[in-house]
Chain A
Amino acid sequence: MAAKYELKLGAATREAFGKALVELGKENENVVVCDADLSKSTFTHLFKNEFPERFFSCGIAEANMVSIGAGLASSGKIAFVASFSAFVLNKGFEQLRVNVAYSGVPLKVVGTHSGISIGEDGPSQMSVEDLSLACSLAGFTVISPADEPSMFALVKQAAYHPGAVFIRAGRIKVPVIYGPEQKFVIGKGIQLTEGTDLTLISTGLMVAECLRAAEVLESEGLSVRVIDLHTVKPLDRELIAKAAAETGCIVVAEEHLVDSGLGVRVAQVVTETSPCVMEFHGVNDTYAESGLPEEVLVKYKMTGADVAVTARRAFGRKK
Chain B
Amino acid sequence: MTRTSDLSELQSIARTVRRDIIEMIGAAKSGHPGGSLSAVEILVTLYFDVMKHDPANPTWPLRDRFILSKGHAAPVLYSVLAETGYTPKDQLNTLRRIGSIYQGHPDRRYIPALEASTGSLGVGLSLGLGMAEAAKLDKSPSRTYVVLGDGEIQEGQIWEAAMYGGYHKVDNIVAILDNNRIQLDGWVKDIMGVEPLADKWAAFGWHVIEVDGHDFVALQAAFAEAEATKGKPSMLIAHTVKGKGVSFMENNPKYHGVAPTKEEVELALKEIG
Contact = CB atoms under 8 A, between A and B. Distances in A.
A98 to B, nearest CB: 5
Given A69-B130, A71-B129, A75-B131, A104 B108 contact: yes
Interface in B93-117: 108-109, 115-117
B259 interface: no
B120 A61 contact: no
Contacts of B133: 56, 68, 71-72
Given A58-B164, A71-B133, A103-B116, A64 B109 contact: no
9 contacts: A59-B160, A63-B156, A68-B129, A70-B127, A70-B130, A72-B130, A72-B131, A99-B126, A103-B108
A77 B137 contact: yes
Contacts of B119: 98
B130 to A, nearest CB: 2
Interface of B is mostly: helix
A74 B120 contact: no
Interface of B: 61, 65, 108-109, 115-120, 123, 126-135, 137-138, 156-157, 160-161, 163-164, 167-168
Given A61-B164, A66-B126, 5 more contacts: A61-B157, A64-B161, A69-B130, A71-B133, A94-B120
B160 A64 contact: yes
Interface of A: 32, 53-54, 56, 58-59, 61, 63-64, 66-77, 79, 94-95, 97-99, 102-104
A103 B110 CA distance: 11
A74 B57 CA distance: 17
A104 B109 contact: yes
A277 B132 CA distance: 54
A74 B163 contact: no
A98 B120 contact: yes
A50 B125 CA distance: 29
Contacts of B163: 59, 61, 64
Contacts of A69: 130
Nearest to B59: A76
A68 B160 CA distance: 11
A295 B129 CA distance: 43
A79 B20 CA distance: 38
What are the nearest 3 A-B pairs in CB distance?
A: A71-B130, A67-B126, A75-B134
Residue from the set B128, B129, B133 with the largest chain A CB neighbour count within 10 Å: B133
A71 B127 contact: yes
Contacts of B129: 64, 67-68, 71
Contact of B134 (A58, A77, A94, A95): A77
Contacts of B167: 59
A63 B137 contact: no
Contacts of B160: 59, 61, 63-64
A71 B135 CA distance: 10
B126 A53 contact: no
A98 B133 CA distance: 20
Contact of B116 (A61, A76, A99): A99
A68 B127 contact: yes
A67 B124 CA distance: 8
B97 to A, nearest CB: 20
A94 to B, nearest CB: 6
B137 A59 contact: no
Contacts of B161: 64, 67
A56 B130 CA distance: 10
The listed residue with most A CB atoms (<10 A of its CB), out of B120, B130, B134, B160, is: B130
B109 to A, nearest CB: 7
Contacts of A73: 130
A71 B164 CA distance: 14
A95 B164 contact: no
A53, A63, A68, A72 interface centre (most CB from chain B within 10 Å):
A68
